[in-house]
Amino acid sequence: MQTILRFRQLSRSLFIRLLASFTLIIVLLSSFNYLSFTFFRTQLEEEIITYNNLNLKQTTDSYETHLQLIANLVLGFYSSDRVQILYKNPSAYNLASDIRSDIQNTVNNPLLYMENLMLVFKDTNFILEKEGSSAPDTMFTKFYSSDAYPYEFWQKQFDAPLFFNLYPAAPFYYKTFKSVPAPRGTLLPVIIKNKLTPGLYMVALLDAEKAYKAFHRSINDNFVMLDEQGKIVYSSAAEAFGPLPELKNGHGYVQNGNYYYFYTKGDYSGLTYVNIIPTQEIGSKVSRLNLTLFTLLLVAIAIGIGTSVLFSLRFNNPVKKIIDSIRQLNTGEAAATGLSKDEFEQINTTIHSLFKTNKDIHQVLDEKNSLLKYYAITNKVKNIHSQYDDFKELAPNGRPFRFVLFQLYFTPRFYEFAEVGEARATYFSREIIRQYMSTYYKDAHTFQVENDQILTVVFNGEQVQEEELSVVLNRLKEVFDHDKEICFLTIALSPFYQESAQFTVAYEAVLELAEGRMLNADTQIIEQPPRSGEPFTLTPSQEQEFEANLRGGNDEVVLRLVRRVLGAMQKKGATAGQIKRLCKDLLDKTLTTLALLNIDSKIGGEQLELQRQVLACHTLEQLETLMMQALSAACELVRLRKDQRDPMARFVLEYLEQHYHEDITLDSVAEKLDISGGYLSSYFKEKTGHNFIDYVHEVRITKARELLLQSELKIQEAASQVGYHNLNSFNRMFKKYTGMTPSEFRRSS
């Protein structure tokens, strides 16, 4: 029993608890590290193999690219006009000098790794190369002598296969009569020949060692190049490996004996590139890794145990004193020597309460300060007077400032894929702008003034230059351009203002600047108002054409006119607001026309909904699409209405279109239908939505507008031709239906 009590008391000891906790952590981490080391060790060999495959691929790509470059270069040289002329006319010595200069320039390029470039002529028995010209036997027995390639070999090349031949690398020497042969290095001969010039071929001698040093990527120097017959073209290996194993499939690796053979076949040259890695090199790395990791694991465990004991001892006494102090504060009594679970909870509760109280106080203060600044600036911006003098500290008099307005626009893609709403997205954007602007201007204040508007006040206390602020805004634009598929901005930058009392003026200025954005879905920075502030409207002739074809249901003409007008506006630099205002006016005219024709419009909802759709368009293509859909639907309704008219209404309309210039009365038309004038009036109103007399005047004024636009008739003559014999009556009706007199209409056209 005493043993159990002693164990329970010992288990409550802070030292034992800390030591047990640290020991458990050490065991868990050690187990995790051991398992991680075991897994990593099994993966290391595969990673080394992958690493060697990647190195060989890079080596192969470098060699293949270089050989293709050499082939193209030499072939271009071979096919040049100078070489062909010299081939046909060997006595053209001036061309030989120019060609030798070209050869020197080519060979002197260090990135080609070319020792020499030679033109070998059969008929004239001479060779032209970088240092001049000589006879073939002299060249290949003295200047470029090689046991592997005697003079007879070069003579046979005139009968060798055509185009591109690459031969194994071999040592070349420069032999003189009085000295030991001077080595020129290990050179790789590349011979290019064309059947059109059988008496000429070119030799490019590539420096195999330089190319190897430039292109080879591996952890050792055992590298071999094989031709398609399996013969060695070049080898950098310092040791003998015996016969190579069979290399299948064009690429991969083979383990044979004590070596790994990594190989890849080039697509252009057909050469096979082989890296030979000793198996002991890979195995030694794994063994070294095992030893290193195991040693580190043991050291880490030893350090962990020692640190745990030391830290537990050092932590035990201070915590006891803390508990005693808490007990004295709470109870006024001295603490007992033993520790209990309640005491640990007391420490946790007390510390948590202190931190929470401190955090809450700071959070409340920050929120209130931020809220006060927001209301203070908002009051100044919107010219709301306050009884508190709370803005002096924020914006002292005499301190210049600028406003930056950020107007947010969300694209249709935002509503398809965004996981947050507009309000949340605007909040995120505001925080990005606030942090970015505060980075450059510590006194800048950023806040939201509308659902889609964010305003930043930049003070000039640090002598902010105009160019500097523009650069900052352009950098911020680049940040938002990353999300241009879901949202974009209009950034309006106001001029400098000197007094905080001008906040309202500055705010109105940036709002006016924001109206000057162009019609596209890109973020725009606007510092100056648009060049043209004149309103864009249809000319009288365009209005007449639009209205007449809309009434006739001619959607092709109406759509072509709208496209032409919108395109012309954009070319003239019209702002997005100007283009949208014109579109809203056209839609209003369309709805009005449909109402006058007594047609129930279904072209996109009510007028407010159409205006909302216009405002939601951000590009000319979107706006054209909306207009095309609405106007096409309107014209379709007009055509359907025409098709649905009964014979009596159709007769009256056609009669008025054909006899508008005559003296037409309600009774005269009713008499032709053998009905009363009163019945015709109510019937016509019911079927067309127009009063009979109003429709007669409307047809006559429409015809008069056409005459005034398309002819040189006098106003009185035009009035007479459309059925008005009294000029005053004509002027009055013309102004009623067009808003201007005939003279004003003709001048405006």
When pLDDT is averaged across residues 196-208 and rounded to a whole number, the result is 90
DSSP SS3 for 743: helix
- What does the pLDDT look like over 680-720, one tens digit per residue? 888 877 777 678 888 888 888 888 888 887 788 888 888 88
Shared domain check, 631 and 653: no
Radius of gyration of the chain (CA): 47
| Residue at a domain's end among 501, 526, 551 | 526
Report the pLDDT averaged over residues 485-514: 85
Dist. CA 734–CA 127, nearest whole Å: 98
CATH number at residue 270: 3.30.450.20
Strand partners, 276: 261
Residues 640, 655 within the same domain: no
The closest of 155, 163, 277, 279 to 220, measured between CA atoms, is 277
Give the pLDDT confidence of 580-632 residue by residue, as tens digits.
Answer: 888 888 888 888 878 777 776 655 455 667 778 888 888 888 888 888 888 88
- The answer as to whether 320 is a domain residue is no
338 pLDDT tier (thresholds 50, 70, 90): very low
Domain end, chosen from 228, 253, 276, is at: 276
Question: What tens digit of pLDDT does each residue of 422-443 get?
Answer: 888 888 888 999 888 888 888 7
| Domain finish residue from 626, 644, 662 | 644
For residues 681 and 588, membership in a common domain is answered with: no
Among 230-234, 391-395, 403-407, the least confident range? 391-395
In a domain, 346, yes or no: no
Same domain? For 141 and 251 the reply is: yes
In the chain, the number of structural domains is 4
Per-residue pLDDT of 133-173, as tens digits, reads 889 988 988 989 998 999 999 998 888 776 788 899 999 99
- Is a pLDDT exceeding 90 seen at residue 366? no
Domain span at 587: 540-644
Same domain, 634 and 744: no
Q: Which residues pair with 163 in a beta bridge?
A: 193
The string of pLDDT tens digits covering residues 486-499 is 889 999 988 888 87
590 and 732 within one domain: no
Q: Do residues 107 and 236 share a domain?
A: yes
In this prediction, residue 113 carries a pLDDT of 92
pLDDT of 11 strictly over 80: no
Asked if residue 528 has pLDDT above 70, the reply is: yes
Task: Band the pLDDT of 257: cuts 50, 70, 90.
Answer: confident
- We report the CATH number of the domain holding residue 518 as 3.30.70.270
Q: What percent of the chain has pLDDT over 90?
A: 11
Average pLDDT (240-249) is 77
Kindly state whether residue 379 falls inside one of the protein's structural domains. no
| Residue 24 lies inside a defined structural domain of this protein | no
Judge whether 476 lies within some domain: yes
Residue 508 sits in the same domain as residue 555: no
User: Do residues 99 and 233 both lie within one domain?
Assistant: yes
Q: Which of 106, 116, 110, 109 is nearest to 146 (CA)?
A: 116
Q: Are 346 and 339 in contact (CB under 8 A)?
A: no
Please give the model's pTM, rounded to 2 decimal places.
Answer: 0.43
**Residue 168 placed within a domain:** yes
- Both 651 and 618 in one domain: the answer is no
**Looking at residue 333, what is its pLDDT?**
45
Q: Are residues 640 and 652 in the same domain?
A: no
57 part of a folded domain: no
Q: Distance between CA atoms of 222 and 263, rounded to whole angstroms?
A: 12
Q: How far apart are CA 6 and CA 99, in angstroms?
A: 103
Distances (CA, A) of 539 to 224, 545, 582, 749: 82, 10, 12, 7
User: Where does residue 321 rank: exposed (0-12), middle (13-18), buried (19+ CB within 10 A)?
Assistant: exposed
pLDDT of residue 189: 95
**Is residue 54 in a domain?**
no
More confident residue, 252 or 336: 252
Burial 456-485 (b: 16+ CB within 10 A, else e): bbbbbeeebeeeebeebbeebbeebeebee
Q: Which tokens hold the place of 445?
A: 């204040």
Pair 261, 177 in one domain: yes
Q: Which residue has the higher pLDDT, 60 or 504?
A: 60
3-class secondary-structure state, position 40:
helix
| pLDDT confidence of residue 59 | 93
What are the residues whose beta carbons fall under 8 Å from the beta carbon of 246, sequence distance 6 or more? 254
* pLDDT at residue 614, rounded to an integer: 82
* CATH number of the domain encompassing residue 671: 1.10.10.60
pLDDT-derived band of residue 421, with 50, 70 and 90 as boundaries? confident
